[in-house]
Structure 1
């Protein structure tokens, strides 16, 4: 079985039917409070889409299975990661440089008020520049959403993963398409 945690391989095996082929899998660990965690593995076979959950603190296991031939629509939405805005980074850097340069001007002033203004102004500009710089890196991570619906539009399953799961999402889409072509071939063969 592809990319499954070792603990899941043995636990999932009894739920895979004879002749059923595992195509792809994607696993995540959700850290919860009180030192609990849930290991979730999403699996796509040539027949089904499975969601396997295991709570690590009590060993509770749940499995949800959706037959792919009942899926009429697969929607995959990819949201790429956002990069920091370069203009914002340049403005923040310029502000920090100006703030530091104002300290060099302190020795050139002869009045006490000028020194205080340069000191407070320089610290303020540098601090604001630093806040802007740090905030520029506070960007959204990329994601991939998979939505499975019946032919009548009823929601079957909807999951969102990190951006790295795009290949898994594509495997789900291909498996659903193949399940329909296989079901159509079987139906023609029995007529």
Structure 2
């Protein structure tokens, strides 16, 4: 029996409780290598950016096309401007955050971003169709909103079609 009952075994490359050898990671990484990005995945990423641009453009067109929407408490034009700018910044910030939540992990080929993207694209398509129905019922001067809404609906449908292609699924892990 040895004097040190808990001494490391000879085949153990590093002693227990000690630091790892220089140049070695602190813990082993057993991640499989990422599959190569396919052309379908790259197309899906481009459609994500196009959908974001159309969402921002649609918001801007909606704001410019309907300037009389801001009716509320008659406090004054400064307060109305403050509320309008604040809601625009908040709305565009949330929109950018949701698109970033899909785009960047999808670029890293994360499967959960693909699932989230399908859910968000489906909800965006439904809300675009609901907004189009409301614009058709509303005043006749809302045609720019219909054009951007139609373009956004086309891009969202294309996103959903490309998302279910086998090339996208092959690139995700």
Scaled by the length of structure 2, what TM-score is found? Answer: 0.27
Which structure has more helix as a fraction of its residues? Answer: 2
Whose radius of gyration is greater, 1 or 2? 1
Which structure has more strand as a fraction of its residues? Answer: 1
Indicate the structure whose relative CO is greater, using CA pairs within 8 Å and at least 6 residues apart. 2
